[in-house]
Structure 1
């Protein structure tokens, strides 16, 4: 079968991405194969290989797609500068709704695959660096507004701590949702941020 024409290729790219997302949502990265995506599109594996010649290319696309879908998700309004904005960002990450839970399950399922590939691991590290960088300005604002208990606290380190706390809570909530329902997660976030703030 000849490769698709450039116009057709771009026209089909959205369909391919939707099929990749469908497989991720249903099976996670462990079930992401060329065969599964082809079946979701009702096309041959050979046709799909015009887009992804290897499984690694498919996985790299899926990670990029996951980042885009995460960035495009509905978000809470940032109520105020400083710690209230950090709180909103952290709550946006946690598995507090079925949609958030599904997205986080996909993220967690990607870790093993990314860790096994040096380039994918580096790209994933870049994603987390961007997340930390997006939170850091809000800690800087918290410092300027005298919201922090330690006025000398380093905003970059606080952002790293907040991301580490958040992802740890994500994992706990995914594996033990009965112990970590929505209200418990929110309370833990408030306790964590309260420990950083002025008392």
Structure 2
């Protein structure tokens, strides 16, 4: 690919990107060392040079995808409800890049069910997601943009709503376009607002 071959971490990143593409198109059933090498236009020896096992490759790819998601520039720097809305929109498959990322996450669930460590990693990721939304819910409550109440419970429900919407949008994109996803999110958030602010 386009990176210097001598840079170890960059080459590992190349492998991770190839893993994402294979997972997004073929799922875990199609994820083989040979398929990863083919995606990279390299030999299987290149892949095994940087990783000792398929499990190590998948773990690295998911960790790198999580890191990139966290460091992505937010859609808005505004506080309160706009920041909460932005955080949820950043989770949704609203464009090609985020659709690919979500296809990878969904594909990885099957593997997590069979691997206790991957299951724990996923549980930790989703718990972290709820924590981030909880802080944003609390900030929105503080400026009276959301109803008072248990912020963690509200964040957990919102996180669950987003995950369900992600699955539907990835599996049925014709009926869950980006416009439809945002509309559903707006309707959901409207029900969390104080009565005098609801539309």
TM-score normalised according to structure 2 size? 0.84
Q: Secondary structure at the match of 2:90?
A: helix
Other-structure match for 1:178: 174
Matched positions, count: 190
Could you say which residue in structure 2 is the equivalent of 1:116?
Answer: 114
Indicate the residue corresponding to 2:3 in structure 1.
none
Tell me the C-alpha RMSD between the 2 structures: 2.1
CA distance in 2 between partners of 1:184 and 1:16 (Å): 34
Show the counterpart of 2:52. Answer: 53
Contiguous gaps of at least 5 residues in structure 2: 1-5
Which residue number in structure 2 is paired with residue 147 of structure 1? 145
Q: Residue 112 of structure 1: SS of its match in structure 2?
A: helix
Is 1:65 the equivalent of 2:61? no
Q: Which residue of 1 aligns with 2:95?
A: 97
Instruction: For 2:70 and 2:164, locate their aligned partners in 1 and report how far apart those are by CA, in whole Å.
Output: 20
Please give the alpha-carbon distance, in whole angstroms, between the structure 2 residues aligned to 1:88 and 1:42: 37
Deviation (angstroms), 1:11 = 5.7
Relative to the length of structure 1, the TM-score reads 0.84
User: What is the CA–CA distance in structure 2 between the aligned matches of 1:100 and 1:61, rounded to whole Å?
Assistant: 19
Which residue of 1 is the match for residue 124 of structure 2? 126
- Gap regions ≥5 residues in structure 1: 1-6
Relative to structure 1, the CA distance from residue 19 to residue 158 in structure 2 (aligned partners, 3 Å threshold; closer, same or farther) is: same
Q: Is structure 2 residue 155 aligned with structure 1 residue 159?
A: yes
Change (3 A) 1:9 1:174: closer
Whether contact under 8 Å (1:29, 1:106) holds in the other structure is no
- Aligned partners of 2:186 and 2:133: how far apart in 1? 16
Task: State the alpha-carbon separation in 1 of the partners of residues 10 and 187 from structure 2.
Answer: 48
Aligned to 2:183: 187
